[in-house]
Amino acid sequence: MEEKTDKAVIDVIDTDNLKYTLGEKIGQGGQGAVYHVKDDLDIAVKLVVDADGNPVKDNSAAKTVSEKLRLIRLLPIPENINLSKPLAILKSHAGYVMTFMNAMKSFDHFLKLNAKIEEKEVPLWLKDDTGKQIPNAEIWVNYCKTGSLKTRLTALYKISEEIASLHSNGLVYGDISGGNLMFKNDGNKISAGLIDADNINFAGKSKTYFTPGFGAPEIINGTSHATIFSDAYAFAVAAFYVITMMHPYKGKRVIGDENEDDDWAKTVVSQKKADYNNFNDDGSLPWIFDQNDDSNSFGSIEQVNSLFLTPTLFALFDNTFSEGHTKPFLRTPLTRWAKAFSDAADMTVKCPECGMTYYYDNQENGEYCCPYCSQKRGKIIVAKSYLKNSEKPSHIFVQEIGTEEAVLPSRCFEPFRILKSDEDLVGIRTENNFIEFRALDDEKPITVSKNGGDERILTGRIQFNMQDPNFSVSLRYKNRHGYSVILTVE
């Protein structure tokens, strides 16, 4: 018997007799595993594996893969999404070679919370009075090291756009999990993409695969093929898991009532010990934060909401996991997730003391501060978008003041649009007591005015003194939408 695919060095050969030596496993779904190719990170290989994780070499399985990829080429897949496209069929194994975006990681990267940490990585707020680490300190440290809240929200925003675009073309992805959703963080921008193109098909038109822990009840019970609604369920599970590190249905009826003190890190450890990969949701359980049934409750809803979720995000999760649990048509569609995640990500700031990111309006004892280490929040830029005659902002964008340039995206100036709301429109830089604005797209004129004064077109660079009384700047994209962005320093 061969060694399992994540331990053995594997060589594969395609139908053109090209040989590939497989490297690190990128991710895994219900049908198989995806690997980097050694010495060429721009391509990857998908292998069909058996129940023990060994590569499948059966000729009939290889023919099935080949036929699926032939049909995929006929599907109306949008050209503007990041999808790893098939390049060649393997003849040595059941699988294929695909394009890949260098340096991308699977969303499973966010779930690596038990990685070994060094003492110097443990901040003071995770130590007791004697200087020793508190229990489960590594969970908090690794949450920070793997991107903390902002990176998770932004990656989910970008990947939800990709899946929403598929859905708008009548297609379903079919096997959503943390292992086959991908993201890339280059320091300034986060992009996302999809692997396992062989999952994609029209709704209800192919055999349904799922990754354990992510299958919708109708998929688990065998009453439906993959639909946009089963995609919506699997995505919501993956998203909730990535943000909170908790599975939405693994409560006390599944793993026992082990978490009496409702500590988040202890909750995460309790669920992880129970191994979510061995759990499938048949629709019989309420979710762990169900507002009408606490028989499967687990963890602290107050703590999770304050640290990780906006009211909108909680409502969308609750909609899918309560009403939509066994009523697929009521689940939150992917189009709504994209805006909710972008809104949430834009309201986070980074703590300079502990490195965690958090929602900018968190308060303790009447002061804005980090909810983790209690470090007082520094000055930040707050840009609120308003429709004409509206007193409530439609969008809030915040950025801590520092040496790096902040960028106001197009979603601050116009209605949210899938795959079109991340265009850079205005650059903002602060230095000493001055704030500088510059236009980033000459074809989209922005007007600027200070303290309600006369408007002028933003050309080149414009500076204002932030210490002027009642300082505020109004920015407006001169288009038909009429959004005004009021920027202040708090």
Q: Where are the domains of the chain?
A: 11-99, 105-343, 379-489
Which residues are CB-contacts of 136 (< 8 A; sequence separation ≥ 6)?
Answer: 263, 265, 266, 268, 269
Query: Using CA atoms, how far apart are residues 352 and 377, in angstroms rounded to an integer?
Result: 9
Residue-level pLDDT at 442: 85
Q: Is residue 479 over pLDDT 80?
A: no
Q: Is residue 280 over pLDDT 90?
A: no
Residue-level pLDDT at 205: 63
Confidence of residue 329 (pLDDT cuts 50, 70, 90): very high
Q: What does the pLDDT look like over 176-227, one tens digit per residue? A: 999 889 999 887 789 999 987 778 888 766 667 788 889 999 999 999 889 9
Q: Do domains 105-343 and 379-489 have the same CATH topology?
A: no
Residue-level pLDDT at 480: 62
Residue-level pLDDT at 2: 37
Q: State the greatest distance between any 2 C-alpha atoms of the chain, in Å, as a whole number.
A: 77
Query: Using CA atoms, how far apart are residues 10 and 21, in angstroms rounded to an integer?
Result: 6
Q: Which helix (H) or strand (E) holds 157?
A: helix 148-168
**Residues 386 and 483: beta-carbon distance below 8 Å:** yes
pLDDT: is 193 or 58 the higher one?
A: 193
Residue-level pLDDT at 61: 76
Whole-angstrom CA distances from 100 to 67, 107, 162 are 21, 15, 15
Task: Please write down the HEC assignment for all residues of 251-284.
Answer: CHHHHCCCCCCCCHHHHHHHHHHHCHHHCCCCCC
Chain length of the chain: 490
CATH code, 105-343: 1.10.510.10
Query: Using CA atoms, how far apart are residues 244 and 13, in angstroms rounded to an integer?
Result: 41
Q: What does the pLDDT look like over 6-37, one tens digit per residue? A: 456 789 999 899 999 998 888 777 678 888 89
Q: Is residue 148 over pLDDT 90?
A: yes
CATH code, 11-99: 3.30.200.20
Residue-level pLDDT at 444: 86
Residue-level pLDDT at 3: 36
Share of the chain above pLDDT 70, in %: 94
Residue 278, phi-psi category: left (phi > 0), alpha (psi -120 to 50), beta (remainder): alpha
Pick the CATH number of 379-489 from 2.60.200, 3.50.4, 1.10.3210, 3.40.50: 2.60.200
Please state, rounded to an integer, the average pLDDT across all residues of the chain. 89
Q: Is residue 112 over pLDDT 90?
A: no
pLDDT: is 56 or 206 the higher one?
A: 56
